[in-house]
Amino acid sequence: MANFLQYHPRSFLQQFTYQIVFLELILPFPLIFVGLSGVLNPLVVGSVVTLAVIPWVTRWFVLGRLSRPTFADGPLTLFVISAFIGTWAAYDPNLSWPMLLTLLGSVNLFFTIINAKVSLQRLSAGLVLIATLVAVYFISQFAHFHYPEEAGGLARLGLLTGSFLPNLVFFTPHPNAVANFLVGVLLLCLILTGQTQAGQRMAWSLAAGLIGYGLLISESRGAWFGLAVALSIWGLLGTTNRVLRLVLVGVGSIGALLSLWVVIHLSKPDHPVFILSSMLNTADSRFTLYRNSFNLWGDYLFTGIGLGNTFALIYSRYQLLINVPYLYYAHNLFLSVGLALGVGGLGALLWLMIGFYCFVARIEQRGLNTANLPFFRAAWLGVTAVLVHGLTDSPQFADPGWTMPMLFALFGLAVSVGQQAEKPFQPIFPPAFQSWKVWTAILIAALIIGILFQRPLLSAWYANLGAVYQTYADLSPDLDDKTQKAAINQAIIYFERSLNLNPTQPIANRRLGMIALSWDNFTKSNYFLEKAYKQEPNNQATLKALGLAYLWVGRLDEAEKLLRQVNDQNMLIEELGIWSNLRESQGQMDLAEYAYSLAERLSVKR
């Protein structure tokens, strides 16, 4: 070793540095794996958190700072804080902790990538290798996943190619989640294919083919659209002629509008070509979900409902007014973040996106060297493809959230490459916005707004707290009667405080009405729900709750008028039949007759 140090000091230091960098890159993954596996053993969690923290403590002592400064520091800090608040608000924290650990590991991975001095090609190759392994697993086991809804031509192709290998399934990923995981990496793989030597080019070409084929058989239209948007932007960036660029944008916009018109025209029921109706039916059901999820978000505006598998029961119980899970996540990235983390988390996401694309615009304007520019574009356009897919799906925030680390890795890769053209670090906002005068003015404006809207804001805050405690009382597992009663009483106290500040507060009125309805106190439920209906006449939860309240007091005409506005009429009619049988079994023959009669009325189409 002494001779090695004497004659090859540079090689030894390089090898030692590579080992440290490699160790730093892999330390976030134990935390991610523990989160994905759902292990909550305190010793295991403490160990992986300690491993993840070691590089940051070391960097603090050696360099005097935790990380290189980036525009993402503020929004990611707010994002993590909001995640902890959401976990506190979750009706069962054990549902939220695994995804919280995954989120912490993903954020850790982002900062690790931007701080690690490792080859750009090696980082890209590592991400592509991981995506290729996922694609191979998805393709080879497709026939063994037994997806109930996959019946198209591409699915049949996937069944054919996925039947050659034996059943090695240990995890059944949703096709949309696989597409979300692969779509952001495909561009990186294509760049590696074009920039490597002939020997490696074959390997990267094979990887690109596998990733592309996996994306194809996933039948994820949202991911395909995201990839199309990313490729279109790349094509425009490669067009140096400004006039030609404007012409291409115009032609593309006109083509998109014409395509939309054709889709709508061909999807009319009276049209002989009825090939696109299923697509529009899916879109209609998604928009219904988005509208209902947005209304539900208002109930938990400040705290959120927590990460993980918390959405399903809350959505069913308080938006659809049924007691069984119906849908498991909001299928939209922004709604999923808002619901899980509250307004703070959604604000952090928007802040992060604004900062990211301001950063991208600056780097594209300044330019990078010819070796790094393709990787930068592939990374930020990969992030863009994932975010566009997020408009129609959000597997990153659907349990177990296994696609989340790849998004943060691509994000970190783009920032790491782009920062080479931006030294020293530049904040999101221009220098004029950094002065104490500007921030003082913003603070004064915020205080004025807070004073002017103090009562409505406090009222909404108490309504949020009431919703948290009501959810805890209704859905938390293994509560004894005393604890459950104390929680629901605390919820009522918060709702009443909310109404003392703002008597028309719709959330507090609706929730108190729903509590009274569950206790068969129909007089009180009608009183509160009628007040809520005046403020939110299009909220499905209010329509259904007030309709049921009218039903149980025999006001069938008014109940029918409201319940006909509920989205899924077939499910509602079936539910009324169940209610009729239940009331009859309880000896409440008049209520059973009301439910039966209304079900008969709703069965007649108008």
Helix (H/G/I), strand (E/B), else coil: 21 = helix
The letter for the amino acid at 470 is: Q
Cα of 71 vs its chain's centroid, Å: 22
Q: What is the torsional sign of CA 380, 385, 388, 393?
A: negative
Q: Which of 335, 298, 296, 299 is nearest to 316 (CA)?
A: 296
pLDDT band at 485 (very low <50, low <70, confident <90, very high): very high
pLDDT above 80 for 272: no
**What pLDDT digit, counting tens, does each position of 581-596 carry?**
999 999 999 999 999 9
| Helix, strand, coil % over all residues of the chain, rounded to 5 | 75, 0, 25
pLDDT band at 365 (very low <50, low <70, confident <90, very high): confident
**H-helix or E-strand spanning residue 501:** helix 481-501
Give the relative orientation of helices 481-501 and 454-475 as an angle to the nearest 10 degrees. 160
d(CA 375, CA 235): 15
Encoded tokens for 131: 């995506």
d(CA 544, CA 106): 40
Q: Is 482 exposed, middle or buried (0-12, 13-18, 19+ CB in 10 A)?
A: exposed
**What pLDDT digit, counting tens, does each position of 63-118 carry?**
777 788 889 999 999 999 999 999 999 999 999 999 999 999 999 999 999 988 77
d(CA 368, CA 418): 8
Instruction: Please tell me the predicted confidence (pLDDT) of residue 159.
Output: 86
d(CA 44, CA 46): 5
Rounded average pLDDT over 343-359: 95
Instruction: Please tell me the predicted confidence (pLDDT) of residue 319.
Output: 95
pLDDT above 80 for 313: yes
- Measured between alpha carbons, how far apart are the two ends of the chain, in Å? 89
pLDDT band at 430 (very low <50, low <70, confident <90, very high): low
DSSP class of residue 395 equals: G
| CATH number listed for the domain at residues 453-603 | 1.25.40.10
pLDDT above 70 for 400: yes
Rounded average pLDDT over 277-302: 84
Instruction: Please tell me the predicted confidence (pLDDT) of residue 591.
Output: 94
d(CA 481, CA 485): 6
Encoded tokens for 421: 């053209």
Give the relative orientation of helices 93-115 and 404-418 as an angle to the nearest 10 degrees. 20
pTM, two decimals, is 0.88
Q: Please, which contacts does 13-20 make with residues 24 or more away whose CB atoms are closer than 8 Å? A: 17/117
pLDDT above 90 for 283: no
**What pLDDT digit, counting tens, does each position of 105-126 carry?**
999 999 999 988 778 888 999 9
DSSP class of residue 397 equals: G
d(CA 264, CA 118): 50
pLDDT above 50 for 463: yes
For residue 229, how many other CB atoms are within 10 A of its CB? 16
d(CA 288, CA 291): 5
Residue 497 CB contacts under 8 Å (≥ 6 apart), including other chains: 462
**What pLDDT digit, counting tens, does each position of 12-33 carry?**
555 555 555 667 788 889 999 9
**CA-to-CA dists, residue 552 to 387, 521, 544, angstroms:** 46, 10, 12
pLDDT band at 249 (very low <50, low <70, confident <90, very high): low
The letter for the amino acid at 484 is: Q
| Domain coordinates in residue numbering, the chain | 77-92+121-312+323-423, 453-603
Cα of 192 vs its chain's centroid, Å: 29
Encoded tokens for 377: 């574009």
Instruction: Please tell me the predicted confidence (pLDDT) of residue 131.
Output: 96
Helix (H/G/I), strand (E/B), else coil: 313 = helix
pLDDT above 50 for 267: no
For residue 194, how many other CB atoms are within 10 A of its CB? 12
Among left, alpha and beta (phi > 0; psi -120 to 50; other), residue 308 is: left
d(CA 225, CA 221): 6
pLDDT above 70 for 480: yes
d(CA 38, CA 137): 21
Q: What is the torsional sign of CA 292, 293, 296, 298?
A: negative
pLDDT above 50 for 215: yes
Rounded average pLDDT over 489-504: 96
**What pLDDT digit, counting tens, does each position of 529-554 carry?**
999 999 999 999 999 999 999 999 99
| Mean pLDDT, rounded, of the chain | 86
pLDDT above 50 for 468: yes
d(CA 557, CA 563): 10
**What pLDDT digit, counting tens, does each position of 29-45 carry?**
999 999 999 999 999 99
pLDDT band at 9 (very low <50, low <70, confident <90, very high): very low
d(CA 336, CA 307): 9
Encoded tokens for 414: 């783009």
Instruction: Please tell me the predicted confidence (pLDDT) of residue 266.
Output: 47
Residue 147 CB contacts under 8 Å (≥ 6 apart), including other chains: 155, 175
d(CA 570, CA 581): 17
R_g over Cα of the chain: 27
Encoded tokens for 73: 């520091």
Q: Could you tell me what percent of the chain has a pLDDT over 70?
A: 86
Encoded tokens for 604: 């007649």
The letter for the amino acid at 354 is: I
